[in-house]
Structures are given as structure tokens and as C-alpha cells.
Chains A and B, each alone.
Chain A
Amino acid sequence: MKTRILRGLLILSLSIAAVLQSCVETIPVSKEEKAKAAANEKFDASTFIMEHIADSHEWHLWTTKKENDTVEKVTYIPLPVILISREKGFNFFFSNKIAHGQSFLGYKVSESEELKGKIINVDETDEPTGTRPLDFSITKTITGMLFAAIFGLWIFLSLARSYKKTGISYPHGIQSFLEPVVLFIRDDIALPNLGEHKYERYMPYLLSAFFFILINNLMGLIPVLPPFGANVTGNVGVTFVLALCTFLITQFSGNKAYWKHVFAAPGVPVWLLPVMIPVELIGLISKPFALMIRLFANITAGHIIVLSLICLIFIFDSLAVAPVSILFVVFMDCLELLVAFLQAYIFTLLSALFISMAVPEEHH
């Protein structure tokens, strides 16, 4: 059973990799752009960083300029685009169809400031119609996340299998590597917060959240090589989903004492309740909201700092800056490695804490 699942995961990831063949496209640089570049003579670090941080419909690898800066050779992996719109129904195609400002089936990637990178509807003359299709594309973030999930499933299913195979024994192989982390979550996060009788119910969620965030954080730190380097946990949509899970689990496991505390806090006079109840309700939402923002901001900030340090080389346009830059990037990467663990830990710890607040002991 387990072997079949593992083999399935391997086949799945290989087939995804096979579909995502890299694409090399040569596009001429327009005269305006060239003029702009010549006028500025400046490397646009902000755009460069944002292109790496933000979600994208293609997995950009590298761009080389050829023939005296008149031709740009872009190497990228086109990703599947899945769109649902009222006018055109369901559409599926690969993103090389709409790369670099091309329009396809009346869709185009917006270049306006507020909708940059998002797919919009356009009419026959390539003018935006002002509407947007529902975009369920497998973007860069989702591809990275998918591979992280497959990797996580593979690791932990084989871990489970190794436990089944060896029975009760001392930890060895993959166990000795992962078991301390699992034990850490059990003994230092779940047990102290949730107590001996309740912790077991929430262990699967806490472990899943911790390792999902950790694997995505770590994969995001590895540059260039897909499926690494995607800014998954630095995407607010992803952290929203994770925080929403904590929120829902907290509310659904809330017991009588918890709800009583929200709607009729003991010791609060009745005339204050109209004020207190909204405050408490805001408190319910602000906790997971903080979870969402904390993870997103920390990981995004880390990526921005590393990319900025690399940008220094191009801003100064000098190879002499490279050693300094590299030194700082190595330092930052070490820090980011710590942050990757720390943020996964904080998210899990706070989730456990919020859940524990919803399941207080009855005498409390």
C-alpha cells in the first residue's frame, strides 16, 4: 500500500517535471525600451526583486542579451494556465501562449501597475475590457508548493513505513534525522500548551503545518533550480490558507467556557458587553491574521534582502562588489535558514496556543 503511494508520488512528480519542459524564446527588445534603458543606464532592482518575489504564470530561469542588446533570449518553464470566465468558459493552455505581452483567446497578462502579472480579458484590439477571469492557474508558487507537498509526503510516508518495518526499536536511518523534530513538536509545542489529554487530537495538524511550512521555507531558500526558489510561504494567499486552518480548528474545538468567555466574559458588567463582544470577536480574527502576516512578511523580507544584496553587484555594475555581496548573502542565507525553522516553529507554537485557549479546562 505504502510502496504504491510512494511510487505514485515519484511518478507524479516526474510527470509534472516532464510536462514542464523549459522553453527558450527570443524576443526583440523594442526601440523604446532600449532608449529607456539607455536613458536610465540604471539597473531596476525593484522590478528585478518583485519579479522573483511575486507569483508568476511562468517559471523564469534566465535572460541573456544577444546581438548587441537587440535581442533578449529568455529561458523559462511555461506553467499551466487554467481560466474560468463568464464569457469564454473554461480554458486551459500553457503560459508560453501569453508570455511577453502576447494575447491568446482574449487573455493577456496585465502590465498595468495595480494588476501586474495578473491575467485580464482583452478585446480584439488588445485593449483591456476591464474584467478578469477567475484564475486557477498552476502558478510558480503553486508548482513550488506542489513539489514541497510531494516531497513532504514522500519523506513522511517512508518514515511511517520505516517505523512499521522495524517495529519497536531504537531510531535509525531516516528516523534518527526526523524523530527529534517530531518529538520536539510533541514535547515542546503540543504537550505544554494543550495538555496530556488533548494534545494527541491536534498533533496531526501541528505536525503537518510545521513541516509544510518548513519544507516550503527551505525549498524557497535554494535558488535557481526549479522547483526550488519559489516564494511559497512568502505568498499571502498560502499563509492565509494556513492561518485559516488554525482559525477554523480553534473555533470548531472551542468549548463552552471559551464561547462564554467571548460572549459573556465572566466579571464584565452587562452594560459593557456591547463593547466587549465586538472586541472579543476582533480578537478571534486578529490572532490568525497575525499568523498570516508574520509568516508572509518574514519569508518575503528574507527573500528581498538576499535578492537586494545580489542586486548590489548590478547596481554598482562592478564585479568587485561580488565578493562582498556573496559574503553578505551567505550570512543572510544562514540567517534565513534559522528564520525558516523559527517561523515554522512560531506558527506551530502559536497555533497550539490559540487552540489551547479555545479548550480551557472546565474549572477555569
Chain B
Amino acid sequence: MIFLSNSLTSPGIGVVVWAALIFGIFFFILAKFGWKPILSAIKSRDEMIKSSLASAAKAREEMVKLQSDNEAILKKAREEREVILKEAREVRDKLIAEAKGKATEEADKIVEKAKAGIEMEKAKALSEIHEQVTTLSIDIASKILSEKLSRTEEQEKLISKYLKDIDLN
């Protein structure tokens, strides 16, 4: 072990020169063609991951916002629908009520008119019947009584009185 201090710890100049040369070439070739593309590829990938994560977070945020927006819109729409439906119902009810009122009125009017007409016609008919019956009765009576009775004022009065008593109702 004596020469441990000699042959191992005293390097020849050759080893130093060759080691410097080999390590130097190793370093320069790799620095130019190795580490640069490797590190830049890793770096650009890191950046891409970072930016993708950021944009994903942003997208998620936006989606949440959109969702809440959507919900708000939906809620508003639902409320609006309720309002519209309610209004429509009211309008319908009102229309129906109005129509009903008008129809009843109209019907009442018609019925009244009809009743009035009927009343009038009835009165007319009655008076006609009165006249006819009077004439007919006079005729019949005159025919019956032609032999016995002459047409006098007194007789006609008497007949009319009788006829009035016999109301057709």
C-alpha cells in the first residue's frame, strides 16, 4: 500500500490532458446539440402544461358562470311564463264572463221582444177575434132573428155585453 500515495494520487499529465479534451468535447457537443433541444423541449412542454391548466381552469370557471347564467335565464323565463299564463287566464276568464253577460242580455232582450211581439199579436188576434165573433154573432143572430128581430141599437149593445162576459181566456 506504500505506492498508494504515488501512483494513485499523482496523475500523469497525459490523463489530465486527455480527460480535459474528452470532457470538453463531451460538454461542447452536448451543450450545442443535446441539452439545448432537450431543455427547450421540456421547458416548452412545461409552459404548455401550465397554460393548458390555466385555460382549463378558466374554461371551468366560465362554464360555472354560464351555468349559473343559464339557470338565472331559465328562472326568469319560468317566471315570465307564469306571468303570461296568469294574464292569459285572466283575459280568458274576463272574455268568457263578458261573453256570457252579453249573451244573457241579448237573450233576455230577444225573449222580451218576443214576449212583446206575442203580446201584441195576441191582442191583435183577440181584437180580430172579437170583431169577427161580433160580426159572426150578429150575422148568426141576425140570421136567426131576421125573422123575429130587426137590427136595432139595443140588440147590438146587448150582444156586445154578452160577448164581453164570455172572455176567451
Taking Cβ atoms with an 8 Å cutoff, the residues of A that contact B are: 1-2, 5, 46, 50, 53-55, 82, 113-118, 134-139, 141-142, 145-146, 149, 152-153, 156-157, 159-160, 163-164, 167-169, 179, 182-183, 186, 200, 203-205, 207-208, 212, 235-238, 240-242, 244-245, 300
Given A156-B34, A179-B42, A236-B11; 7 other pairs, CB 8 A cutoff? A2-B33, A157-B34, A182-B39, A182-B42, A204-B31, A208-B31, A300-B8
Residues of B close to A138: CB separation below 8 A: 18
Residues of A close to B39: CB separation below 8 A: 182, 186, 200, 203
Q: Is the CB of B37 within 8 A of A163?
A: yes
Closest A residue by C-beta to B47: A168
Residues of B close to A242: CB separation below 8 A: 19, 23
- Contact A168/B41 with A54-B7, A118-B12 known, Cβ cut-off 8 Å: yes
Nearest-Cβ distance from residue A158 to partner chain B, whole angstroms: 9
- Chain B interface size, under 10 / 10 to 19 / 20 to 34 / 35 or more: 35 or more
The B contact surface, by secondary structure, is helix
Q: Is the CB of B2 within 8 A of A53?
A: no
Q: Is the CB of B14 within 8 A of A53?
A: no
Nearest-Cβ distance from residue A120 to partner chain B, whole angstroms: 12
Interface assignment of B38: CB less than 8 Å from any CB of chain A: yes
Interface assignment of B83: CB less than 8 Å from any CB of chain A: no
Nearest-Cβ distance from residue B28 to partner chain A, whole angstroms: 9
Interface assignment of B13: CB less than 8 Å from any CB of chain A: yes
Interface assignment of B25: CB less than 8 Å from any CB of chain A: yes
Task: Tell which of B16, B25, B48 touches A168, judged by Cβ atoms closer than 8 Å.
Answer: B48
Interface assignment of B158: CB less than 8 Å from any CB of chain A: no
Nearest-Cβ distance from residue A227 to partner chain B, whole angstroms: 13
Task: Tell which of B15, B37, B48 touches A160, judged by Cβ atoms closer than 8 Å.
Answer: B37
Interface assignment of B22: CB less than 8 Å from any CB of chain A: yes
- Contact A237/B11 with A113-B6, A212-B23 known, Cβ cut-off 8 Å: yes
- Contact A205/B6 with A139-B15, A168-B44 known, Cβ cut-off 8 Å: no
Residues of A close to B48: CB separation below 8 A: 168
CA distance A115 to B7 in the complex (A): 7
CA distance A283 to B165 in the complex (A): 159
Q: Is the CB of B19 within 8 A of A241?
A: yes
| B117-163 contacts to A (CB < 8 Å) | none
Residues of B close to A167: CB separation below 8 A: 41
Nearest first, the 3 closest Cβ-Cβ pairs linking A and B are: A237-B11, A237-B15, A163-B41
Nearest-Cβ distance from residue A348 to partner chain B, whole angstroms: 13
CA distance A141 to B19 in the complex (A): 9
Q: Is the CB of A240 within 8 A of B42?
A: no
Q: Is the CB of A208 within 8 A of B30?
A: yes
CA distance A200 to B46 in the complex (A): 15
Residues of A close to B84: CB separation below 8 A: none
Residues of B close to A134: CB separation below 8 A: 13-14
- Contact A114/B26 with A137-B14, A145-B18, A179-B42 known, Cβ cut-off 8 Å: no
Q: Is the CB of A50 within 8 A of B22?
A: no
Task: Tell which of B1, B22, B37 touches A142, judged by Cβ atoms closer than 8 Å.
Answer: B22
Nearest-Cβ distance from residue A240 to partner chain B, whole angstroms: 6
Nearest-Cβ distance from residue B31 to partner chain A, whole angstroms: 4
- Contact A113/B19 with A153-B29, A204-B27, A236-B9 known, Cβ cut-off 8 Å: no
- Contact A235/B35 with A50-B4, A146-B22, A153-B30 known, Cβ cut-off 8 Å: no
Interface assignment of B20: CB less than 8 Å from any CB of chain A: yes
Closest B residue by C-beta to A164: B37
- Contact A55/B15 with A2-B33, A183-B42, A236-B9 known, Cβ cut-off 8 Å: yes
Nearest-Cβ distance from residue A159 to partner chain B, whole angstroms: 6
Nearest-Cβ distance from residue B161 to partner chain A, whole angstroms: 130
CA distance A203 to B11 in the complex (A): 29
Residues of B close to A160: CB separation below 8 A: 33-38
Nearest-Cβ distance from residue B162 to partner chain A, whole angstroms: 129
